[in-house]
Amino acid sequence: MKTLDLSGKTAIVTGASRGIGLAAAQALATAGANVVLTSRKQEAADAAAAQISGSAIGVGAHAVEEDQARRCIDLTLERFGSVDILVNNAGTNPAFGPMIDQDHGRFAKTMDVNLWAPLLWTGIATEAWMGEHGGSVINTASIGGLGHEADIGLYNVSKAALIYLTKQLALELSPKVRVNSVAPGVVRTKLAEALWKEHEEQVAAATALARIGEPDDIAAAIAFLASDAASWITGETMVIDGGQRLGDAAPYRRGASIGV
Ligand SMILES: NC(=O)c1ccc[n+]([C@@H]2O[C@H](COP(=O)([O-])OP(=O)(O)OC[C@H]3O[C@@H](n4cnc5c(N)ncnc54)[C@H](OP(=O)(O)O)[C@@H]3O)[C@@H](O)[C@H]2O)c1
């Protein structure tokens, strides 16, 4: 039987100082993996690793800096002996407003962190370990990459491209390395505060499952995709959004219909 057990495996989670990354690191550790948590700051990575119940270390590594990515993967191999799972989770959204008004600085930062970094880390991990021994890569995309929204077009373009990159890499790295994405809806994290903080009730009411997401909701899917239970899944993007992509649920609920 295929199992969710990750004993003996080692996972790197980028952007794991808080939010979805921290929850993913805990889910992977709970399933038995050694976990390496990254943040731009060593202290934040250490503080996050200290919260994990299981085998964990923190490594300061800016996701876009190649030398820091290499150092993190080298440290992981030295410490744990393998890099079986890579969660490309670090993400940013420095741009708000119409796409047409964006400048090159915001465009470059968004694309660098959300798109280039997953390619960079996957390349290094493949060369260092996964290409020979196999592995599972999970990219944190977004439902924004599957649709259209006002004012966060640049972020959504980066996530749409990440979904495409996931499929491309799933083919290029086959059959040894599986590459999948998760596409969260609105989740209670710092990055997404603008989407829920002032109007959580409204967002929850419009969501089929009647609440916004919690980091653990996404973490569970990441741990599944990392495991042998998902061993025949690659190039896929798993939507985890409580039904948000279905549209406003309120008018469909029992008692909401006005009838004719
Ligand atoms: N929350 C949502 O509703 C939602 C929905 C869809 C997708 N997502 C995606 O989920 C992922 C995680 O975001 P989150 O919502 O959990 O946000 P969060 O709580 O704000 O966490 C973001 C994480 O990314 C790290 N980070 C940012 N830039 C980095 C860089 N250049 N190098 C390394 N680490 C970096 C941050 O670490 P430091 O600040 O410590 O460096 C932090 O650990 C992102 O890819 C985001 O796009 C979130």
The CATH number that applies at residue 144 is 3.40.50.720
Cβ–ligand 1 distance for 184 under 6 Å, the answer yes
Cβ–ligand 1 distance for 113 under 6 Å, the answer yes
Residue 250 lies in a domain: no
Distance 19 CA to ligand 1 centre (A): 7
**Relative to the CA of 23, which ligand 1 atom is closest?**
16
For 123-132, the pLDDT digits (tens) are 999 999 999 9
Residue 34 lies in a domain: yes
Residue 204 lies in a domain: no
pLDDT tier, 255 (very low <50, low <70, confident <90, very high otherwise) = confident
Angle between helix axes 66-80 and 117-125 (nearest 10 degrees) is: 40
The whole-number pLDDT of residue 259 equals 57
Distance 41 CA to ligand 1 centre (A): 13
Residue 198 lies in a domain: no
CB 20 within 8 A of CB 140: yes
Give me the catalytic one of 129, 155, 196, 224.
155
What is the rounded distance in angstroms from the CA atom of residue 35 to the CA atom of residue 179?
18
For 55-110, the pLDDT digits (tens) are 999 999 999 999 999 999 999 999 999 999 999 999 999 999 999 999 999 999 99
What does pTM read for this prediction? 0.97
Q: Report how many domains make up the chain.
A: 1
At 211, which amino acid appears? R
What is the rounded distance in angstroms from the CA atom of residue 206 to the CA atom of residue 1?
39
The whole-number pLDDT of residue 57 equals 98
Residue 143 lies in a domain: yes
**Relative to the CA of 191, which ligand 1 atom is closest?**
20
- As a whole number of Å, the CA-based R_g of the chain is 18
Q: What is the 3-state secondary structure (H, E, C) of 109-142?
A: HHHHHHHHHHHHHHHHHHHHHHHHHCEEEEEECC
The whole-number pLDDT of residue 90 equals 98
Q: Whole domain around residue 28: which residue ranges?
A: 10-188+214-240
Cβ–ligand 1 distance for 23 under 6 Å, the answer no
For 177-227, the pLDDT digits (tens) are 999 999 999 999 999 998 999 999 999 999 999 999 999 999 999 999 999
pLDDT tier, 251 (very low <50, low <70, confident <90, very high otherwise) = very high
Residue 200 lies in a domain: no
* Beta sheet of 56-60, edge-to-edge order: 56-60, 34-39, 10-13, 85-88, 135-140, 177-184, 237-240
Residue 220 lies in a domain: yes
First to last CA, the chain: 52
Active site residue 164: no
Provide, rounded to the nearest whole percent, the portion of the chain with pLDDT above 70: 98
